Amino acid sequence: MNSVEQDEFDIQQGVQSVWAITFGVLYLLVMSISIFLYLLTVRAVAKNGRRENVTYFLVFFLFFTALVEYALIIEEFMSRFGYFLFTNMNCQLFTYTLYGNRILQISIVLSILYYNLLAVYLKTARFELNMKRYFPIFVLVLLLLEMFIVLKPTLNMRASIAEQWCEFVDRDSRVLDGWLYSVLFPYFLPLVASIGPSIYLTLRLKEGEIIEPKKSQVRVCLAVVSGYFLFYLLYFILMTAKQVESVMLVRSDWNRLLGLSVWFITRPMFILIGHGWHIMVPIACLTLDKELRREWPGRALVREMREFDDEEQNSIVMDSRDLTDLQGIESEKSKTSHSRETELSANFSAMMLENREFHHAYPVH
């Protein structure tokens, strides 16, 4: 049996009938919805030039990784029915794409987080402009980092002599590669690295120290980061249990059978939940951004947005009317006070005149 597929593929041999077809179709359905929503996000950002920033450029890079994920699902589904050629190049290419796409996804997620962290901390437009200007170089750095990290397991893969499966060249490094590329690199180490920046941005957002348009970017950033770790939580817990089980030297037949049964049942379900993150990312962009949610399907996803806009406009109109009324009241008050002052001055002059005439008519001796 294919060594890589035994560890990585979700549709295992022995369950190729209804179970395999059901989850294969569900994977493709979820990823198709994700790609459609990503295209709508690209359209919404293109129509709002002010949203062409590094945060959404990195989201579009996640769109690229979603396409790669879609291709891996199709390749997996085809290999289960004998349409995959097991050559050294194909096995290495599959290993590089599988491990590399995971590393690339979490690298992009951390890049979104730390970019917004620096943008909020520095509070300068020059940083954002420079990042936007040199974004192609940054993408190249991420791709080189991915290649550097996954080069070792890629070169450690080859096709069997009969070219019927892929196998490891050095089997002793299989356990270490499993821990690094299936557990630590794609999840737990990035989780530790993201806790501090996420708390910092959340506190600044809660205290109202971040204003638009950076406020919308930070909201999308936190949603993307937290969504990744939440949607893939069950899957990587299961992968951790798998790695722990692989280093156990003594296992009874019952425990081995129970482990295989749980693996076959739970892993496809948890992978399906993880693929839901690719749907959540474009939805977060279309609902949490103040400008993008005005575009379709943002208004359909956030129905109360129209009521919010109407209330906001009504409040602006009411404020202008209140201001006009207030100015009218102040004008009336000034006229009234002026007329009162005029009356008082006229009365005062009349009283002085009468007083003077009184003194002339009746002089005091």
The tens digit of pLDDT for each residue in 305-362 reads: 454 444 444 443 434 444 444 455 445 545 444 444 444 344 434 444 334 433 444 3
Asked whether residue 359 falls in the same domain as residue 256, the answer is no
User: Which DSSP helix (H) or strand (E) runs through 220?
Assistant: helix 214-231
Asked whether residue 339 falls in the same domain as residue 294, the answer is no
For the chain, the domain total comes to: 2
Asked whether residue 205 falls in the same domain as residue 338, the answer is no
Question: Could you tell me if 125 and 209 are in contact, meaning their C-beta atoms sit under 8 angstroms apart?
Answer: no
Q: DSSP string spanning 242-297?
A: HHHHHT-S---HHHHHHHHHHHHHHHHHHHHHHHHHHHHHHHHHHHHSTTGGGSTT
Print the domain residue range for 308. Answer: 304-365
Asked whether residue 195 falls in the same domain as residue 255, the answer is yes
Greater confidence, 130 or 311?
Answer: 130
Asked whether residue 245 falls in the same domain as residue 322, the answer is no
Asked whether residue 192 falls in the same domain as residue 227, the answer is yes
CA dihedral (298, 217, 40, 25) positive or negative: negative
Asked whether residue 10 falls in the same domain as residue 76, the answer is yes
What does the pLDDT read at residue 258?
57
Greater confidence, 81 or 132?
Answer: 132
Beta-carbon contacts of 116 under 8 Å, excluding residues fewer than 6 positions away, are 55, 201, 214, 217, 218, 221
Report the alpha-carbon distance of residue 91 to residue 157 in Å, rounded: 6
Asked whether residue 230 falls in the same domain as residue 357, the answer is no
Asked whether residue 332 falls in the same domain as residue 254, the answer is no
Asked whether residue 322 falls in the same domain as residue 278, the answer is no
pLDDT band at 259 (very low <50, low <70, confident <90, very high): low
Amino acid at 96: Y
User: Mean pLDDT over all residues of the chain?
Assistant: 79
What does the pLDDT read at residue 113?
97
Considering 302, 317, 352, which residue would you say is the last residue of a domain? 302
Question: Could you tell me if 276 and 231 are in contact, meaning their C-beta atoms sit under 8 angstroms apart?
Answer: yes
Q: What is the pTM of this model?
A: 0.79
Beta-carbon contacts of 286 under 8 Å, excluding residues fewer than 6 positions away, are 37, 40, 41, 44, 292, 293, 295, 297, 298, 301
Mean pLDDT to the nearest integer, 267-292: 92
Asked whether residue 240 falls in the same domain as residue 316, the answer is no
Amino acid at 36: F
What does the pLDDT read at residue 257?
58
Amino acid at 174: R
What does the pLDDT read at residue 249?
57
Beta-carbon contacts of 165 under 8 Å, excluding residues fewer than 6 positions away, are 1, 2, 3, 5, 86, 159
Kindly report whether the peptide bond that precedes residue 136 is cis, defined as omega within 30 degrees of 0.
no
pLDDT band at 121 (very low <50, low <70, confident <90, very high): very high
Asked whether residue 282 falls in the same domain as residue 337, the answer is no
What does the pLDDT read at residue 189?
97
Considering 280, 302, 324, which residue would you say is the last residue of a domain? 302
What does the pLDDT read at residue 363?
43
Considering 287, 302, 317, which residue would you say is the last residue of a domain? 302
**CATH code at 201?**
1.20.1070.10
Query: What share of the chain in percent tops pLDDT 90?
Result: 47
pLDDT tens per residue, range 78-87: 777 777 788 8
